[in-house]
Structure 1
Amino acid sequence: MLYWKLCNLVYLDIGRNNLIGTLPEFLEGTESFLSRRPLPSLQELVLSNNHLVGKLPEWLGQLENLVRLELSNNSLYGHIPESLGLLQNVSHLWLRTNELNGTLPESLGQLSKLLFLDVSSNHLAVVSFSSNLFHGSIPIPNGSIELLDLSKNKFSGNIPNNISGSLLFLSISDNHISGEIPASIGNNPNLEVLDLSNNSLTGIIPLSIANCSFLKLLDLSKNNLSGNIPASLGQLSMLQTLHLSHNKFSGELPSSFQNLSSLETLDLGSNRLSGRIPPWIGYGFGSLRILSLRSNAFFGELPAVLSSISSLQVLDLADNQLNGSIPASFGDFKAMRVNKTVGLGVSELVQKPYTWTYSREHSNLKELSSLDLSNNRFSGAIPESLKSLSFLGYLNLSHNDLSGKIPYKDHMTTFEASSYGGNQSLCGAPLAVKCPGDEDDDDDPDNGLVIPKDNTNGDSFIHKWFYLSTGLGFAAGILVPYLVMATIKSWGDAYYTFVDVAVERILFIWLKYRTILQRNRGRH
């Protein structure tokens, strides 16, 4: 029987296939062995990335020696069974990206060896927990758990006020979480990733987050947080990705941010920040790839030293109150010193296919790829030096007070009129507004024939006769042979006979060559 052949099985990995149906029935045994434990020696079961459907069976709890259970990226639905609380040896439990609903069973609080719990991208909700693993209205661990991912579910309520433990990774993003961020979150000194984005959190950023000295990614974007950005965040010297956009933060940029030398992504857009953009941003950020300060209240001139950021790929300063001219040095953004992934690749931490907004931009770009300075008060001419940014894929200088002729040369010709619109004093291609002194092609009396303008004495007359003679020569070359052969029938017959013979000969040679090729292929 198959059961007897598999009863000593320790490791089973059939993930990343095209399995369909419910969980394999052989794992459950046969009816005559209901009193026995199915696969009693099994320690790792990997069925992720398939097309499995149905509910999670209760018999999973009988795999008492199971250490790792991976069922992610399937179409499993229904509640998570209470029997999973019987897996006393399990350390890795992956159930992400399914159709699971209901609540997390309290029995999971009995899993004292659980290190990784990922139930993200489901339809789970929670009311309350009182076990030794979970507490409060949101299931936050008390114990040795290192990774907890509850993102993209329907969890609501507050984050507990007494979070502490050995967390390395915590994500509750894309839920319905409300209330304030508890100060106790800083009681996880080894925390490397904290993602609370896209919720309804209020209040300020607790100063205690600075205690998480190993933090590499902090994402608090898309909430209702307010107050000043605490200067204590400047103590996070290992921080690579910082997302605080779409909140209500006010005040100026903390000067302590100068200490964030490992920063690769700084996204502070869509807040109420004000003041001048400090020149120190142009120094000490050898790895900064993305800088977004858009939709704030920054004013004053742009520091020319921004072009000294050696690895910058995206610069977004749109929708502010910046003025002055665009520095000519903006055409001199230095090439990247190394090519690597933007921001923290979370897969390096837990081997998971996470995708962070602005944080994993796989590319081998060597220069600035996106520049958005729209909706400000910039004046003066567009620097000629911008045409040298050969890797620039997106440019938006619209709705400013720029003036003069657009340097529509080289790479600048790849951008449409919308990139320059809303500047009343700009002229030249690709805009319809012509600059003073430009030739008006619409008034050309030669019916669309463009004749190069030349002020040299007599040259204009010569150029016109050149184009006219070229056209007449082309017509003569076509019409004269035709008229001759039509008039002298014998010449026409000889000409067309020659053409027919030549075409037949060429066709014969081609067919012969193809036959030889086919024979040679048949021999091999």
Structure 2
Amino acid sequence: MAVSLLLQLLFIVLLSPTFTKPNATHAQTQYCLESEKSLLLELKNELVVFNPSDSAILVHWNQKDDCCFWKGVECDDAGHVTSLRLDYEGISGGLKESSSLFRLNYLEELSLADNSFSGSLPHNISNLARLSYLDLSRCKFSGAIPSTLGNLTQLVDLEMADNFFSGSVSSGHFEGFASVEFINLRYNSLSGSIPISIFTIPSLAWIDLQHNQLSGKVDEFAMLNISISQLSVLDLSRNRLESLPDSFIELQSLSVVDLSDNLFNDTFQLDKILSLPNLRVLTLSKNHLSRLSPNTFPVSQSSLDHLDLSDNKIAGEIPSWIWEIGNGSLTYLNLSCNMLVGLQKPYNMPHSFHFLDLHSNQLRGEFPSLSMLKHPANVDFSDNYFEKFGILETGIDARVSLRNNRLSGTVPTFFCKAASFLVLDLSVNHLSGSIPRCLLENSFVLNVGRNNISGRIPDKFSPKCKIMSLDLRENSLVGSVPISLSNCSSLTVLNLSNNKLSGTVPTSLCKATDLQILDLSVNNINGNIPLCLVKNLPALNLGRNNISGRVPNFAANCSLQYLDLNNNNLIGEVPPSLKNCKLLKAMDAGGNALEGPFPCMLPLSLRVLVLRDNRFHGEPRCNKSWPNLQIIDIANNNFSGNVDSLSFSGWRQMMTDTVTKLSYKNLAFAVPNLNSSTGYKEEVSLTIKGAERDLVKIWPDFTSIDLSCNRFQGGIPDSMGELNALYLLNLSHNTLTGAIPKSLSNLTGLGSLDLSANQLTGTIPKEIAGLTFLQAMNVSHNKLVGEIPTGPQIQTFLSDCFEGNIGLCGLPLSISCVKTHVSPPNVKSDGETAIEWDYVFAAAGYVVGFGSFLWVLIFQRSFRERYFDKIEDVFEKIVNLCKKKKRRDVGKRVVRNQGRR
């Protein structure tokens, strides 16, 4: 019986109209109106699709199919088009006033978002009088907002964010709005004051005017009946507003107010804003507040739970009434990046805090007690002057940062009483002693780097180990890397660099399958590189150790993005399997004993390559190029052949290209699902102006080529002039011949140029003197002739930069370019000696030139600083050369002595 009833019910459902009709909007007709189809096809022909492959909607519109079933189109029962969505269609070009779009009179929803329309929005948009939803976000419309927009009286949601709309917003734009609930005009260029008519729209709940150029005061609206306003969210951030009217507090429904990044100063009456009965979130960051006004309103009655006053100039103590807001219900407080020096006592922090940020102030002494925190909390006291630890209650589950303070002594044991720390950052302090084992057991992210911690890293990590990121860099730790770290199955980041660790790289780390970043650099670790580490890790740094052997083969599914093996004892060739690392961005293998040809198997993703101080040889001709390459240093090898074998014309990242640059970021490896502080800043060691420097952040604008100390020959190719974004170029100590190409004058961003110790001939092109950004230049020890060009920079360089060229003359050398006369002096008829005016002019010119140089040196501070910086650099280079020569002489004596034995 039950089965029979079920079958009858199923039969009824199958026959029901809602089941048989695939689209309820088409219940009355199968076809859209021909007139509507014609308008849509006409619109398709009007719109220009920049790339047809980007189109997923317009490309499918055709005369054959029912337009009500076209993508992006919906109709009502009568066949009228009521909804049109053309988002992300790759449309370019403008909309005309005569567009067929404005004849689709039954449209209720229109979205043209994320296209590339040009020009202004036509006034005929008002013809679409039935519109309730209009989305023109990210369409690149410009010009003024049409005054007819207010005629859309049925509009509920208006989205016009991320365009180039400019001009003032008048009351006329909103006069007809009676049903609007949402207005989004953020990220435009609107100017002038905010019109009062916005606040009189009775149904308006949300308005976003963020990131415009609105200035002055918000128009006074005290005489208007705004008490009926339903406005709940108001975002006026990133404008130029200076004050709010007193009647602002009449907006009783306000719940979220963002006034950040404006020009509000101490006239801002914070206590009156706090009196708004429904206010939950108030953001006033990045303004000009220098003090917190005295409390005249009983803040305990406030509903506020989120207060952001960061990035102001607030000085003095944090007033005690802050903690009383909402009768202790405040959950978010951000007072970071101010000038606060302490806490006004007595203070009773509320138990409700989930977020407390006081970083980058001038707080000192003992940091506030955290015993009141009962909830999982983000607490940031970093970048202050705290010297003592506060009290920490047991059971807390928090993210505590005390980075970059003045804390000293040992890590207090009360940290061990906590249930767990999501993040504990005690880095950049003066802590000493050993690492408490409990921190390693109770923390998910632990950073005690850059302190004076000593002793061994506690071993015997249990399988219950919670640690995900462990950073102990730049301490004085000894012993070996704990083998039991492999028990920490969630370990993702391990940074033990810059310590005194010894032993080998434990192969047990291969069992930590989640490990993504391993940095053991600058220690005393020896042995070979475990094969497994180059198979699974995205970032591996073993530089500046005593690691020996060969570079192991790379896995077929190699995930390496950053590989640093510099200054070890590695031998052999770079394995061909490196081609499998298709994501590799940076490789530093300098300072080893690697040999073989140039590693042409390097992937196209490469941005940084350092192979200096090895034994590579041959011509680096690869028949391919690396478009992303921005740093290449292959100095001090045995490379030979012509320089142009490197195919410079394909190095696009070293050329000025705004589109490309915008898509690049500094080289940093982010770890998903971890705090941003655990990110890994990739660095590389380069020799700049004779000294080795570590670039902690590799920015996309820093570009460098160092081919020095090899056996390159032939001329400097003209194609090098195409690298007009190049900052550092070093071709010194080769056997290059020919003239210095004029095309180098195209390198307008060049800061350092070294062509010394070659066999270059001819003159220095006068165009080189136009490189005004040039801070260092060296063409010494070549075969150059003629006068040194005159320019704003070139005469500031020391004469050492031009020595060793017998034919060069002119400043800054002491060799004059004026020809010397050898004929006897002319004698006048009266027996007096005639004046040799050539010598007079030459001397006067020298005096004027040298006097001008002295005047600039004495009275121009920036020139004086640069001049003496150059002297210091040259002195440093001379000292380094002397040291190298001394070491070389000592080495030779040792060899001789051994030979005599």
TM-score by length of 2: 0.42
Cα pair 1:125 1:155 within 8 Å, conserved: no
Aligned-partner Cα distance in 2 for 1:157–1:25: 47
Match of residue 578 from structure 2 = 257
User: 1:317 Cα deviation (Å)?
Assistant: 0.5
User: 1:335 Cα deviation (Å)?
Assistant: 1.9
SS of 1:115's partner is strand
Cα pair 1:401 1:424 within 8 Å, conserved: yes
Paired letter, 2:668: L
Give the one of 28, 44, 55 matched to 2:366.
55
User: 1:357 Cα deviation (Å)?
Assistant: 1.7
User: Closer, same or farther in 2 for the Cα pair 1:437/1:261, shift >3 Å?
Assistant: same
Aligned-partner Cα distance in 1 for 2:712–2:398: 57
1:422 and 2:757 aligned: yes
Cα pair 2:620 2:646 within 8 Å, conserved: no
Aligned-partner Cα distance in 2 for 1:25–1:189: 50
Cα pair 1:319 1:376 within 8 Å, conserved: yes
SS of 1:165's partner is coil
Aligned-partner Cα distance in 2 for 1:25–1:436: 77
1:407 and 2:757 aligned: no
User: 1:301 Cα deviation (Å)?
Assistant: 1.5
Match of residue 32 from structure 1 = none
SS of 1:385's partner is helix
1:75 and 2:385 aligned: yes
Cα pair 2:467 2:490 within 8 Å, conserved: yes
User: Closer, same or farther in 2 for the Cα pair 1:202/1:116, shift >3 Å?
Assistant: farther
Matches within 5 A, 1:351-366: 351-352=676-677, 355-358=681-684, 360-363=697-700
Match of residue 497 from structure 2 = 173
Match of residue 270 from structure 1 = 591
User: 1:238 Cα deviation (Å)?
Assistant: 3.1
User: Closer, same or farther in 2 for the Cα pair 1:254/1:132, shift >3 Å?
Assistant: same
1:137 and 2:452 aligned: no
Cα pair 1:226 1:248 within 8 Å, conserved: yes
Paired letter, 1:13: L
Aligned-partner Cα distance in 2 for 1:139–1:23: 38
Greater RCO (Cα-Cα under 8 Å, separation 6 or more): 1
Give the one of 431, 449, 466 matched to 1:124.
431
User: Closer, same or farther in 2 for the Cα pair 1:152/1:443, shift >3 Å?
Assistant: closer
Tell me the alpha carbon deviations over residues 220-251 of structure 1, each in whole angstroms, 9 at most, x when there is no partner: 2233333322224x467333222222333222
User: 1:166 Cα deviation (Å)?
Assistant: 0.8
Match of residue 350 from structure 1 = 675
User: 1:94 Cα deviation (Å)?
Assistant: 2.0
Give the one of 84, 104, 117 matched to 2:411.
104
Cα pair 2:373 2:396 within 8 Å, conserved: no
Give the one of 617, 621, 628 matched to 1:303.
621
User: Closer, same or farther in 2 for the Cα pair 1:26/1:150, shift >3 Å?
Assistant: farther
Aligned-partner Cα distance in 2 for 1:15–1:5: 15
Cα pair 1:370 1:393 within 8 Å, conserved: yes
SS of 1:256's partner is helix
User: Closer, same or farther in 2 for the Cα pair 1:87/1:377, shift >3 Å?
Assistant: farther
| Structure 2: unaligned runs, 5 residues or longer | 1-319, 443-454, 654-659, 685-695, 766-778, 788-806, 810-815, 822-901
Tell me the alpha carbon deviations over residues 107-150 of structure 1, each in whole angstroms, 9 at most, x when there is no partner: 54554543333222223334364548359922687522323333
1:151 and 2:473 aligned: yes
Cα pair 1:388 1:411 within 8 Å, conserved: no
Larger displacement relative to structure 2 (398-407 or 154-163): 154-163
User: 1:389 Cα deviation (Å)?
Assistant: 2.0
Kindly report the root-mean-square deviation, in angstroms, between the aligned alpha carbons of the 2 structures: 3.7
User: Closer, same or farther in 2 for the Cα pair 1:417/1:117, shift >3 Å?
Assistant: closer
Matches within 5 A, 1:82-481: 84=392, 86-105=393-412, 108-109=415-416, 111-127=418-434, 129-131=436-438, 133-134=440-441, 137-138=456-457, 143-163=465-485, 164-210=488-534, 213=536, 215-232=537-554, 234=555, 237-281=558-602, 284-285=603-604, 287-305=605-623, 308-328=625-645, 330-336=647-653, 339-346=663-670, 350-352=675-677, 355-358=681-684, 360-363=697-700, 369-411=703-745, 419-424=754-759, 426-429=761-764, 431=779
Paired letter, 2:353: L
User: 1:152 Cα deviation (Å)?
Assistant: 3.6
SS of 1:327's partner is helix
Paired letter, 1:419: D
Aligned-partner Cα distance in 2 for 1:76–1:225: 41
Matches within 5 A, 1:39-50: 39-50=350-361
Paired letter, 1:423: N
User: Closer, same or farther in 2 for the Cα pair 1:217/1:440, shift >3 Å?
Assistant: closer
Tell me the alpha carbon deviations over residues 172-222 of structure 1, each in whole angstroms, 9 at most, x when there is no partner: 3333434333223233222232233333333333334346x3x43222223
Match of residue 17 from structure 1 = 337
Aligned-partner Cα distance in 2 for 1:51–1:201: 40
Paired letter, 1:41: S
| Structure 1: unaligned runs, 5 residues or longer | 30-37, 448-524
User: 1:408 Cα deviation (Å)?
Assistant: 3.4
Paired letter, 1:45: L
Cα pair 1:345 1:360 within 8 Å, conserved: no
* Percent pairwise identity: 31
Cα pair 2:467 2:491 within 8 Å, conserved: yes
User: Closer, same or farther in 2 for the Cα pair 1:53/1:385, shift >3 Å?
Assistant: same
User: Closer, same or farther in 2 for the Cα pair 1:305/1:335, shift >3 Å?
Assistant: same
SS of 1:200's partner is coil
User: Closer, same or farther in 2 for the Cα pair 1:302/1:44, shift >3 Å?
Assistant: same
- The number of equivalent residue pairs is 424
User: Closer, same or farther in 2 for the Cα pair 1:354/1:186, shift >3 Å?
Assistant: closer
User: 1:263 Cα deviation (Å)?
Assistant: 1.3
Paired letter, 2:676: Q
Aligned-partner Cα distance in 1 for 2:491–2:431: 21
Aligned-partner Cα distance in 1 for 2:732–2:808: 25
User: 1:329 Cα deviation (Å)?
Assistant: 5.2
TM-score by length of 1: 0.69
Paired letter, 1:173: S
Aligned-partner Cα distance in 1 for 2:496–2:786: 61
Aligned-partner Cα distance in 1 for 2:546–2:341: 43
Paired letter, 2:585: E
Aligned-partner Cα distance in 1 for 2:785–2:386: 68
SS of 2:643's partner is coil
Larger displacement relative to structure 2 (374-383 or 139-148): 139-148
Cα pair 2:573 2:596 within 8 Å, conserved: yes
Cα pair 2:721 2:744 within 8 Å, conserved: yes
Match of residue 473 from structure 1 = none
Match of residue 262 from structure 2 = none
Paired letter, 1:67: A
Aligned-partner Cα distance in 1 for 2:433–2:642: 54
SS of 2:363's partner is strand
Paired letter, 2:362: H
